[in-house]
């Protein structure tokens, strides 16, 4: 009887130990699950801060987060990207330097660093960083930056080559085509620029910068007729104004006056700049 009682006590003790172990296991699983949820929540929050949050709020968030977790390269990246969005390129340069000093830094981080250097007007340093990236790292942004640096160096052959590669690496090349066209415009290749601006508009018909540049390229060839492209009434007036100023600059004053009159009549509201220009021309004659 005593043996049976002892066996029961031992069995009860074992069950209590097992129950305690199970509780510990359950607690550990819950903690791991909560940790996973926290990571997911934090990742979502990081994405929101990088995409839709106010840039300065994002900077403050990532500054706090990276200060608390200095070994977290993702938080340093978030800070660097947020500083770019907040138009603080010099601070972004410092942040990208910190990213590159951490284990896990990638070639894409170096591309972003070069981008920040260009924004900070450090073209020579940006070129040095791009030269350190192996040719096997072929991305749209890398080649777009290469093209911009080549442009700054007036190495037109290299710039054209890099622009062409960059355009082939993206499904949204309108901005790059516009930049390439502006490069051609500054070189005096007006026909080449016109072609590129027109191509940019086939990808983004609402891009007013490309529309305005297209008018400039045509006007440089003394073709002051507006291109057949989609435009609002306000845009039409502004483009007529651009053509008018180009005509006047090239000595085609009468054509310029006519275009200014059209711009004033076309604009749905009072077009002060065009009116002033027209009055100034009429007062000279």
144-175 confidence digits (pLDDT tens)? 999 999 999 999 999 999 999 999 999 999 99
Confidence of residue 267 (pLDDT cuts 50, 70, 90): very high
53-98 confidence digits (pLDDT tens)? 789 999 999 999 999 999 999 999 999 999 999 999 999 999 999 9
DSSP codes joined into one string, the chain = -HHHHHHHHHHHHHHHHHHHHHHHHHHHHHHHHHHHHHHHHHHHHHHHHHHTS-HHHHHHHHHHHHHH-TT-HHHHHHHHHHHHHTT-HHHHHHHHHHHHTSTT--HHHHHHHHHHHHHTT-HHHHHHHHHTS-TT---HHHHHHHHHHHHHTT-HHHHHHHHHHHHHT-S--HHHHHHHHHHHHHHT-HHHHHHHHHHHHHH-TT-HHHHHHHHHHHHHTT--SPPS----HHHHHHHHHHHHHHHHHTT-HHHHHHHHHHHHHHSSS--HHHHHHHHHHHHH-
């Amino acid at each position: 009887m005593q043996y049976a009682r002892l066996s029961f006590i031992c069995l009860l003790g074992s069950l209590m130990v097992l129950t305690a172990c199970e509780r510990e296991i359950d607690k550990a699983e819950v903690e791991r699950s909560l940790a996973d949820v926290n990571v997911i929540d934090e990742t979502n929050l990081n994405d929101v801060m990088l995409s839709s949050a106010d840039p300065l709020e994002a900077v403050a968030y990532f500054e706090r987060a990276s200060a608390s977790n200095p070994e977290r390269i993702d938080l340093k990246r978030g800070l660097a990207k947020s500083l770019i969005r907040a138009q603080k390129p010099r601070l972004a340069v410092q942040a990208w330097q910190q990213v590159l000093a951490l284990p896990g830094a990638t070639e894409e981080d170096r591309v972003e660093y070069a981008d920040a250097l260009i924004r900070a007007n450090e073209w020579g340093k940006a070129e040095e960083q791009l030269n350190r990236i192996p040719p096997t790292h072929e991305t749209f942004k890398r080649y777009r930056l290469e093209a911009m640096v080549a442009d700054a160096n007036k190495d037109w052959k290299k710039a054209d080559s890099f622009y062409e590669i960059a355009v082939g690496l993206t499904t949204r090349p309108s901005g790059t085509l516009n930049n390439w066209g502006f490069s051609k415009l500054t070189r005096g290749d007006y026909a080449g620029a016109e072609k590129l601006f027109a191509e940019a508009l086939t990808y983004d018909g609402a891009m007013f910068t490309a529309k305005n540049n297209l008018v400039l390229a045509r006007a440089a060839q003394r073709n002051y007729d507006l291109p057949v492209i989609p435009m609002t009434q306000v845009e039409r007036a502004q483009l007529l104004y651009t053509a008018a100023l180009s005509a006047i600059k090239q000595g085609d004053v009468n054509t310029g006056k006519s275009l200014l009159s059209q711009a004033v009549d076309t604009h749905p509201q009072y077009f002060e700049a065009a009116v002033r220009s027209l009055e100034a021309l009429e007062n000279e004659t």
